[in-house]
Each structure stands twice: as structure tokens, then as C-alpha cells.
């Protein structure tokens, strides 16, 4: 099985845009959530089952996003989600949002999910079975962007 990002294509909806017709920055969280949910499903762990199966929660401890290129109503965005880091009790999940018509990154973000006990909410190690099933979506930013057909940005 080849390693790399998981992708979904999604339209910019009416509820995603502001008065100027440009995607509202908070709408990217919806795209991230869809990509994350579908990545887990592709790994064999539907969110409707993962928490009960492993007796964990995966709350977000961090979320950030850089906005690169404006998307407008009915534009199609390809959202790549991939794991850039596994910690003992955390997963860093990256999102690269490609504006398909422009062939440019519209946004790039990441979030940190912390594996916690469902009762105490204290961090606990990621279940090995969960980690193993997600490994195939582990890659670097450069690898993910190469798969998307966009150049990795040079750090400034």
C-alpha cells in the first residue's frame, strides 16, 4: 500500500462565502473536518465507532491555517489530509487545500489531536491498532504537495 495524503474534492457552498463572495476563513474548518473524518473512514475507523472501540477521545489541542489564494462560490477545492507527526499520545494532521481551477494552494493548515481517556480526559498513548492503520497517510509536506501537483513552499 502506497503512503501519502488522502484527498477529497468539495465545492465551496453558499454558507462558506461572505458578502464579497469569497470563502469565509472559518469555512476551512468544515473542509478540514470532512477530510479528517473521511481519512479515518478510509483507514477503517469510522468516527461513529472509533471512540467506543478504543475507549478514547481525540480532542483538538491546536488548529491553525494560512490563507494563500481566494476561493469563491462553487469553486472546487481538493483537500489533502495527511499525518506529519505521531507523538506518544498525539497526531499532527495537516491539510493542504488546492484550488483546482487555479492549480494553487488556497489554504494550508494543521491540527493536533490528543488521545485522551474518555473518563478522566487525561492524555493516554495512541492505541497501536489505530496508529498502524493511519501510518499509510503519514508523509511530509513536500511529499503531499508533490502528490497534489503543487510545489512545496520555501520556508522564510
Q: Is the dihedral of CA 86, 87, 89, 95 positive or negative?
A: negative
Question: Beta strands of the chain (E only): which ranges?
Answer: 6-11, 56-57, 60-67, 76-86, 90-99, 104-114, 116-117
Summarised one tens digit per residue, pLDDT across range 8-52 is: 999 999 999 999 999 999 999 999 999 999 999 999 999 889 999
Q: Is pTM, for the whole model, over 0.75?
A: yes
Superfamily name and number for 6-148: Hotdog Thioesterase (3.10.129.10)
Calculate mean pLDDT across residues 98-118: 97
Reported as a pLDDT band with limits 50, 70 and 90, residue 156 is: very low
d(CA 77, CA 100): 6
pLDDT at 48: 86
Domain range list for the chain: 6-148
Is the pLDDT at 134 greater than 70? The verdict is yes
Summarised one tens digit per residue, pLDDT across range 51-93 is: 999 999 999 999 999 999 999 999 999 999 999 999 999 999 9
Amino acid at each position: 500500500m502506497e503512503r501519502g495524503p488522502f484527498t477529497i474534492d468539495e465545492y465551496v457552498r453558499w454558507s462558506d462565502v461572505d458578502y464579497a463572495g469569497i470563502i469565509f476563513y472559518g469555512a476551512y474548518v468544515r473542509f478540514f473536518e470532512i477530510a479528517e473524518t473521511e481519512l479515518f473512514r478510509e483507514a477503517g475507523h469510522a468516527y461513529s465507532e472509533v471512540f467506543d472501540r478504543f475507549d478514547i477521545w481525540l480532542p483538538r489541542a491546536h488548529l491553525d491555517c494560512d490563507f494563500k489564494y481566494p476561493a469563491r462560490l462553487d469553486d472546487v477545492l481538493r483537500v489533502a489530509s495527511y499525518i506529519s507527526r505521531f507523538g506518544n499520545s498525539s497526531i499532527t494532521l495537516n491539510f493542504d487545500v488546492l484550488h483546482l481551477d487555479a492549480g494553487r494552494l488556497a489554504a494550508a493548515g494543521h491540527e493536533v489531536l490528543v488521545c485522551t481517556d474518555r473518563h478522566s480526559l487525561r492524555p493516554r498513548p495512541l492505541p497501536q491498532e489505530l496508529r498502524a492503520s493511519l501510518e499509510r497517510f503519514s508523509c511530509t509536506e513536500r511529499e503531499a504537495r508533490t502528490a497534489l501537483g503543487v510545489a512545496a513552499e520555501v520556508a522564510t
